[in-house]
Chain A
Amino acid sequence: MPKALQRLLLGLLLLLPLAAPAADADYFIAAKANEQARLLQDWAAQPDPARVELLSALQQGRIAAGDTRKLRLNNRLRGLVDNALASHQLLSADSTVRLAAAQQLQKSAQPAQVAFLDRRFASEADAAVHAALALALANLQLVDSDPAVRLAAVRLLGETGDPMARTRLEALLEPGVESNAGVRTAAETSLAQVKRKLLFGELLGQAFSGLSLGSILLLAALGLAITFGLLGVINMAHGEMLMLGAYATYVVQILVQRYVPEAIEFYPLIALPVAFAVSAGVGMLLERTVIRHLYGRPLETLLATWGISLILIQAIRLLFGAQNVEVANPAWLSGGLQVLPNLVLPYSRLVIIAFALFVVLLTWLLLNRTRLGLNVRAVTQNRNMAACCGVPTGRVDMLAFGLGSGIAGLGGVALSQIGNVGPDLGQSYIIDSFLVVVLGGVGQLAGSLWAAFGLGIANKLLEPQIGAVLGKILILALIILFIQKRPQGLFALKGRVID
């Protein structure tokens, strides 16, 4: 009997830590928002490993697995949950979890957590976590009563490029806050250091946005560089080729979702050949039926292709509706890469920059290393001579126009990943595309490359100074001035080949 009783007691004792979080959860749910906030702050200051499960469930917006009661958190509570969970995760055995927790605490730790953080800091074995914790502590130690601790904290903050460190140091340097002269001078040096690092990150960020915008302009304009640049067709329907590519992506997404849902992560890759084929097919059809009758008559071509663009827009409206369609980003194109504390490079944009360069390379190889490319160049340089040498000029025209349209379709796939897909998609890129090709120099692939990246970076450098609207106007004015001075664009074909 006593043995059984002992067992029962032991069992109950063992159950106790399991029962505690359940009680915590009930208490938390029943509490008012202010009490919930207080609870979370208490928990953050005195972590208990048994509560991790509850806190991670709360972070995901539920109470526990299988618990169907409604949980309503607001932003303030969500922030406190993040902080409390990070505090608890410092007790984890996994050093990567601890590191992430320490990084979270750098942002959110409260003065009440200093004692706990101090203990963890003393016992932490992993070097990376140790350093991260030192920084989290330093933020809180700026108001420590011991000047030596403050001095060490200020010095440590100077080594980060964290935007928050700048604010904290500036607050410390406000008149009447810091009395110790040594700490003040150290804070000034640290502040200068942090500012330098932040400036570096900012410049890198601007350069990256410029490159990213440039890559998008390049993808939009590359097809036009062939149809307008090489063939000389003023193709107002070029934007609609982009739009067709984007809609092809949408259709592929739906089909993949329906028939091979396990491959949905990779649907943009499947969409690439489809978009190319659709746009190229439509492009070749247009060339054979309409445009070939208008070679050498630029004004009629302009009007005819403009009419075609309206027809294509309306056709898409009839087929898919006038509203934008949803093209979702797969997981590998969402989120971003944290390079510096104030610089995140979104994956979608990194991929698009790489993709743009890949398409340029592909186009260049096609034009310079294949028989089709040779024929295209021959026909654009001297049609009659090429025909005399047995080049089937009509077929080459068709294929070249198809190639340009197909490349625009590839651009459409990329555009669908960062912007809206609607019938008017092409309209917003057609002007930019012509600007790039004209600025780069008609007939030159390299010109388009430089012009696209140049325009992208110039746009992004101007935008923070004078705003998006004025920036666009100024760029346009600058291009007009440039073309006045140099009508042939950045790069001009040299020699006698101009027709």
Chain B
Amino acid sequence: MKRRSLIKAFTLSASIAAMGLSWSIQAAETIKVGILHSLSGTMAISETSLKDMALMTIEQINAKGGVNGKLLEPVVVDPASNWPLFAEKGRQLLTQDKVAVVFGCWTSVSRKSVLPVFEELNGLLFYPVQYEGEEMSPNVFYTGAAPNQQAIPAVEYLMSEDGGSAKRYFLLGTDYVYPRTTNKILRAFLHSKGVADKDIEEVYTPFGHSDYQTIVANIKKFSAGGKTAVISTVNGDSNVPFYKELANQGLKATDVPVVAFSVGEEELRGIDTKPLVGHLAAWNYFESVDNPVNSQFVADWKAYAKAKNLPGADKAVTNDPMEATYVGIHMWAQAVEKAKSTDVDKVREALAGQTFKAPSGYTLTMDKSNHHLHKPVMIGEIQDDGQFNVVWETGQPLRAQPWSPFIPGNDKRPDYAVKGN
């Protein structure tokens, strides 16, 4: 008796659930959009805001009627700073949730982890962070900077008189593919500028490293040998103890400037920036950039953070990868409208040459062949309020060179996206 009633109850509830499911499918004339950012673990400090920015952009697009008359429906997953989990969650988004596009990843190691999945299932990934180049997949659009749009101009600035005419370079990074490849490119670049190997020091730390005493002491020792600059590719929350140690050991930006490629407004939120004034970051956008598009963008974000009661909403800031996320989603939406379909092959074709008036103050173009944005380069100095003061910029967007000419053999690479590259 008891068992039978249980079965009855089960079938009843199952049929109700199925009815609910079919209703939601009928009502859901939506396009599913995947968001693949770490919401916990060492990268959460950087990636959480990208998830929120993606949600805000989707909400804005929906408020204007969506894309092709359909609303966008975000599917958020948390790969938890765990690289293999990125591939698993990426596969889940593409095969179970059947999303039309995925916005996600920060570290290159996570992108490398999902890449085979996207190429195998012909998915579409928008990657919003500066990276080391050496990749051009037909299934990925790169809205962050390639080395020639960030790292190389930053080093040129350090060499200039205004940048302090640095003669020696301390390359400090987290131990994974992005810092190692970037430093390989930078070393070749420095050689081409006549900097000898004895004036270049390369040091790596593990992810989540928190004891920077020895490294800061070594930087001090190294800097006694001539005007030194530190080029930091430290990623994630390790930056907080690194900058704290710099300040505590009294290493000032006027003596040894640190230029960081992965530190933006968001990462500085957790630190007292007064001792850090003058340290640099190279990006393609800063929150302090003064133009009407950016004012609107920043105001929208602050209002959104407040409305959604995000942690630290009263001090909400925007940064470069957030801008790149925003630009990427809009460009994808434009391409879908142009292609009148979310089919990956058609959208890919429609994306070539797509333009968008970005908060950086420039109209950015998606390159016709190489899947990268044309971006302006800016170098900012940290201010005591945690914002950046732009001290140098290119003045016009540069075309990306994902295959850096400073790595041998790259001159033979094709300038268009090929699978398995």
Contact = CB atoms under 8 A, between A and B. Distances in A.
Interface stretch (B102-110, B120-128, B270-278): B270-278
A472 B208 CA distance: 14
B66 interface: no
Given A322-B39, A334-B272, A468 B247 contact: no
A209 interface: yes
7 closest A-B pairs (Cβ-Cβ)?
A163-B224, A346-B248, A322-B40, A209-B213, A79-B254, A419-B210, A420-B237
Given A74-B162, A209-B217, A323-B48, 15 more contacts: A74-B381, A78-B254, A167-B226, A322-B41, A322-B44, A326-B312, A334-B248, A346-B245, A349-B248, A420-B45, A420-B270, A423-B40, A467-B204, A468-B204, A469-B205
B392 to A, nearest CB: 9
Contacts of A322: 39-41, 44, 48, 78
Interface in A330-384: 334-336, 338, 342, 344, 346-349
28 contacts: A33-B162, A72-B389, A74-B391, A76-B161, A76-B162, A76-B163, A78-B277, A163-B221, A206-B214, A321-B311, A322-B39, A323-B45, A326-B269, A326-B312, A329-B244, A334-B248, A334-B275, A338-B250, A348-B248, A418-B210, A419-B240, A420-B237, A464-B214, A464-B218, A468-B203, A468-B206, A468-B209, A468-B214
Contacts of B381: 74-75
A209 B224 CA distance: 20
A420 B269 contact: no
Interface string B257-276: 10000000000011010010
Given A167-B224, A420-B240, A324 B204 contact: no
B164 interface: yes
Interface residues of A, number: 53
Identify which of A33, A323, A334, A347 gathers the most chain B CB atoms within 10 Å of its CB.
Answer: A323
A75 B164 contact: yes
A216 B257 CA distance: 29
Contacts of A346: 245, 248-249
Main secondary structure on B side of the interface with A: loop
A16 to B, nearest CB: 33
Given A202-B221, A338-B250, A460-B213, A467 B237 contact: no
Interface of A: 33, 61, 72, 74-76, 78-79, 82, 107, 163-164, 166-167, 202, 205-206, 209, 212-213, 216, 317, 321-324, 326, 328-329, 334-336, 338, 342, 344, 346-349, 418-420, 422-424, 428, 460, 463-464, 467-469, 472
Nearest to A419: B210
Interface string B306-322: 00000110000000000
Contact of B44 (A33, A205, A334, A422): A422
Interface in B20-78: 39-42, 44-45, 48, 78
A107 B40 CA distance: 44
A329 B164 contact: no
Counting contact residues on chain B (CB < 8 A from A), the size range is 35 or more
Given A75-B163, A322-B48, A212 B254 contact: no
A326 B268 CA distance: 11
A212 B214 CA distance: 11
Interface string B162-201: 1110000000000100000000000000000000000000
Interface string B262-304: 0000000110100101101000000000000000000000000
A75 B237 CA distance: 26
A126 B209 CA distance: 46
Max chain A C-beta neighbours (<10 A), residue from B214, B225, B278, B391: B214
A464 B257 CA distance: 22
B281 to A, nearest CB: 13
B154 interface: no
Contacts of A321: 311
B415 interface: no
B220 interface: yes
A167 B248 contact: no
A473 B44 CA distance: 26
B241 interface: yes
B345 interface: no
Contacts of B156: none
Contacts of A347: 248
A68 to B, nearest CB: 15
A216 B213 CA distance: 13
Nearest to B275: A334
B209 A420 contact: no
B253 interface: yes
Contact of B384 (A61, A79, A209, A460): A61
Contacts of A216: 211
Nearest to A320: B311
A335 B252 CA distance: 12
Contacts of A469: 175, 204-206
Contact of B42 (A338, A424, A472): A424
A76 B208 contact: no
- Of listed A206, A348, A424, residue having the most chain B CB within 10 A: A424
A464 B218 CA distance: 8
B209 A167 contact: no
A335 B248 contact: yes
A398 B161 CA distance: 66
B224 A166 contact: yes
